Structure 1
Amino acid sequence: MPEKKVMIIGASGHGKVIADIIHQSGDQVMGFLDDDPTKKEIHQIPVLGKIEDIQKYKDDFCFIIGIGDNQIRKKIAESNPALNYYTAIHPTAIIGEGVRIGNGTAVMAGVVINADANIGEHCIINTSAVIEHECVIGGYTHVSPQACLCGNVHVGEECHIGAGTTIINNKNIVNNIIIGAESVVIRDINESGTYAGIPIRRIG
């Protein structure tokens, strides 16, 4: 396949990781767009303008939103639905049979996504996370490093699953949930809010 040329929206830490994935996948990062005027270059890759400058480049490049905040990612994506979005999958990720990964999603190093899982658009599946068979993850959700979703877990949109969290099999989680790091989910979560603990309890 020909090399893809990619523009990254967001020139912060998450954007740096995305750039590394793109390079290791054999594609080319053409530049970043970021609203911070002090950012001129990231790892010798130029910052070519502000986010509003997307329209200048939309016909020439693929795009990926390299911003960790779920709501900001969603706002940018919904404001620019016609862009050619790039899906970044690190070469060390293990992707099972029948897995579906939405446009604009980033899958980091060491991730395992097993058979027939379905990952939505503009998600972050962070370093060494495990998504087991037949899990469904809604758009704009962030699964943090080393989180483990056991089989047939359903997670809604705009959720944040904290680092090292375990969700046992066959659990359902509604939209707009935050789960703190190292938590254990042993029941469905039916109400939006913030949860943490072993087992989890609502804290906000």
Structure 2
Amino acid sequence: MGNKVLLYGASGHCKVIIDSVHLMGDTVEAILDDTPQRASIFDIPVIQAKEYSIAKEDLLAISIGNNRVRKIISEKINAKYYTIIHPKAIISKHASIGEGTVVMAGAIINPDAVIGRHSIVNTGAVIDHDCHIGDYAHISPNASLAGDVIVGEGTQVGIGASVIQGIRIGKWAIIGAGAVIVKDVEDYAVVVGNPGKVIKYTEK
């Protein structure tokens, strides 16, 4: 409580993170951005990132929705990364949340779930028992993962998607909005529909 936090990325996602930080009792000191488009967000100054020297002891959160960009920034900047958990999220004391991860309002994370670093568990998402979510992943609003689901690094599970128990989803995959996943998904696959079907690969 009472921490001063830097955010990296002056985006719409940043606005939601600001609310969570304030509700945690902390303060956003400044927002850094590579190409600032505005002078401030909610009266918090937006600063050209290259003009600000981030110290190792600074608390920093990456407020950018793009999974690959979050990975690039986290690997480039040596800072003390701040984990953001909205006070209206429900998280089991037996769950694990990695550094730099953001958990939004109404999200539910159940026992023995493990969430990696710099991931996003967005508004109203449900992650059930024994799930493992990789680094830089994004579980979108109202997506639901049943028990013992594995989601690889950098994968996006789209808004309102449903994943049945025991499914393995590879790295850097994209699960479309509202998709229903009933079988395992390969790395880099783009899956849509009910039941989910691969329509292409982002890399192969």
Shorter-chain TM-score bucket reads over 0.9
Distance 1:101 1:152 in 2: 16
Distance 1:135 1:175 in 2: 15
Give TM-score scaled by structure 2 length. 0.94
Spell out the pairing of 1:80-91 with structure 2 (5 A cutoff).
80=77, 82-91=78-87
Match of 2:176 in 1: 180
Distance 1:168 1:162 in 2: 15
Spell out the pairing of 1:42-121 with structure 2 (5 A cutoff).
42-50=41-49, 52-53=50-51, 56-59=53-56, 61-80=58-77, 82-121=78-117
Match of 1:36 in 2: 35
Summarize deviations over 1:131-154 as a string: whole Å, max 9, x none.
Answer: 000100000000000000000000
Distance 1:115 1:53 in 2: 43
Does the 8 A contact of 1:112 with 1:130 survive in 2?
yes
**SS of 1:158 mapped into structure 2:** coil
Distance 2:30 2:57 in 1: 12
Distance 2:147 2:87 in 1: 23
Unpaired runs of at least 5, structure 1: none
Distance 2:30 2:40 in 1: 9
Summarize deviations over 1:127-176 as a string: whole Å, max 9, x none.
Answer: 00000001000000000000000000000001000000000001111101
Offset at 1:53?
4.2
**SS of 1:74 mapped into structure 2:** helix
Of 148, 152, 155, the residue aligned with 2:151 is 155
Pair 1:202 & 2:201 matched: no
Say what the alpha-carbon RMSD is for the aligned residues: 1.2
Distance 1:162 1:106 in 2: 16
Unpaired runs of at least 5, structure 2: none
Spell out the pairing of 1:4-23 with structure 2 (5 A cutoff).
4-23=3-22
**SS of 2:72 mapped into structure 1:** helix
Task: State the AA in 2 paired with 1:48.
Answer: I
Task: State the AA in 2 paired with 1:21.
Answer: S
Task: Report sequence identity in percent.
Answer: 44
Distance 1:22 1:7 in 2: 10
Number of residue pairs the alignment of both structures matches: 200
Distance 1:132 1:143 in 2: 12
Q: Which runs of 4+ in 1 moved over 3 A?
A: none
Does the 8 A contact of 2:36 with 2:47 survive in 1?
no
